[in-house]
Amino acid sequence: MIRLFCNLPALVLLLASSVALAAERPNILWITAEDHGPHLGCYGDTYATTPHLDALASRSMIYTRASSTAPVCAAARTTIITGMYAPSLGAQHMRSRVKAPEWLTFYPALLREAGYYCTNRAKEDYNIRVEHKGWHESSSKAHWKSRPEGKPFFAIFNFTKSHESQIRNAHPNPQHDPSKVSLPPYHPDRPEVRKNWAQYYDRLTEVDRQAQRCLDELKQAGLEDDTIVFYYADHGSGMPRGKRYAGWSGLHVPMIVHVPEKFRHLAPEGYRAGGQSERLVGFVDLAPTVLSLAGVKPPEWQHGRAFLGKYQTEAPKYSFGFRGRMDERPDVSRSLTDGRFVYIRNYLPFLPHGQRLYYQMQTPATRVWFELFQKGETNTVQSAFWKSHPAEELYDLSKDPHETVNLAAVPEHHQTLLAMRQAHEQQVVNTRDLVLLPEPMMHQQAEKLGVTPAELAKKHYDPESILPYARLSLLPKGEADRALEKWTTQDLPLLESYWLAVYLQTLPESDVVKYEAFLLRTMKRGGLPALVAAEILARSPRNKQQAEQAVQRLVAFADTKQSDSFTSIYAYNALDRLQPLPESVIKKLAKLNAVTEGYGGSYIARMRGHLGLPEPAPTKKKKRKSNSK
């Protein structure tokens, strides 16, 4: 007791300095909304009615080239919470829920260690699982007001009013006049499309009011001058070819950042009220940025770059994006932009950007657009979304902001194409992007080795050795033919064989026939390469018996008694591309086991619906649980 009394002055001094330190650190408030691009008045959209966000922007700085990094919520939020590109963790696929490696810590936990009170209201939706997420409270009631007095806070308020599901309701009279909508050229001019756009803008007005209520609470509490405020949306608009699209209309989001005078030393050079920044910022940068604002040095394993705070960095040359499986539809695309050009690399070029997703097709604009395409009533630009996409796309946003003219084959842009292709492939290598490892094979290998997908990427995956096989679709035909003739006669590993089969999937039957022996050999080996080979052989018109056997092979892959759910989803997609299927095959599929719970269950049910099998039951909303720690 005497020793404590003797040290009391020092203890008081320590406590006083701690309080002072806390006072010098900013509160940080993130106001986020779902499914909307930069369709705000402050971004020059004259159709938008967003006075409160426009007023916030007038005393803040807006980022004109902000990217969600992923065009769908769960993948984008996984990138935010980790500060890493989700494909490096195997978490790029929608609602995949992969296990995190032990070394990974979510940024709220790092903020919490630094003395911040961290709340999230309320959406998480991460594709990755950790034991402790770091939130003091994450629930529909979470609020910075619950913090201990004097403690700095980091708080998120997420609004769902603008979500895709909210723009397709039966509201008969949108407040925004549908006749005044400025339609993008890829959308057909139909009443349903105009109405959905008008409803979308109505929802942005509602979000605008919700955002202002958050700001009013700050002001009423006397914290306006002590709080750095961010406003952003979680990816592009919920309209078709916004959300889920790997290009700029799927990734471009608003980003408004307000730094009060007290903390201007944490703002970037050139920050001014009402200003704009053309710096490339992405969701991968948010975690290191918020840590930097709190005075915490971002960990080296984070891929992002802080654009505010003590540890802010130089602007990157490129902003990267990615697209994995979207609900029940597998796909593999990567993109990057330098602010002017957008490059998209499609690894499965036999697929369209506009795959028919059960959930997305609930929007009237999507259904009408697809029906018009099927009837041949869409023009070239409007039809492109529903047709197989090329292996590479290149768009000049300065002349073509809606990404409708692919410049990938235009000679004058060849050097730009090569530079962006190289930057993409270097990014794959540097971040150990699992783009080259299909989802079923990723999980199978991780389970076999007893590691997480992230550890698999770091220690058991060599993208440089696989890239040549996945690059076949980029080669001149003669060069690709020579490589195929060499490789198809070798006993290659399964992954390399998979990429050869994927390339063959893009070729006409007259070219494929030369590699029939390879396909038959591959189909007998098993695994995902066998599934791809079976789909190709099932299309062959020359050997009816062989084609029927290939279809039966796909049916077996679809059976969840024989396959994991990841492989089953791939098999159902292959069968869907082979439609119409014989009645005998439909009857056999109807009798198959189909999981209805756990990962993949609802997606398998949706694929069965696409095949005319029993329709999926409506998804029941689960009661959200608080995970306060």
3-state class (DSSP) for residue 394: strand
Contact assessment for residue 242 and residue 236, using Cβ atoms and an 8 Å cutoff: yes
- ∠44-50-51 over CA atoms, to 5°? 100
- Which residues belong to the active site? 73
Task: Please state the separation of Cα 259 from the chain's center in Å.
Answer: 28
* Residue 104, Cβ density class (10 Å: 0-12 exposed, 13-18 middle, ≥19 buried): buried
- Between CA 201 and CA 46 the distance in angstroms is 11
Q: What are the phi and psi torsion angles at 107 (to 5°)?
A: -60, -30
The strand order across the sheet containing 333-337 reads 319-323, 333-337, 341-346, 392-396
Place of tokens 């979000």: 207
- Between CA 193 and CA 536 the distance in angstroms is 36
Contact assessment for residue 568 and residue 558, using Cβ atoms and an 8 Å cutoff: yes
Nearest to 529 by CA among 438, 433, 446: 438
- Between CA 57 and CA 41 the distance in angstroms is 10
Which residues have CB under 8 Å from 275's CB, separation 6+? 61, 62
CA distances from 196 to 181, 249, 501 (A): 10, 17, 40
Place of tokens 């984008």: 76
Which residues have CB under 8 Å from 328's CB, separation 6+? 357, 358, 569, 572, 573, 603, 604, 606, 607, 610
- Between CA 408 and CA 334 the distance in angstroms is 15
Which residues have CB under 8 Å from 360's CB, separation 6+? 164, 240, 243, 244, 327, 366
Pairing of strands 117-121, 153-159: parallel
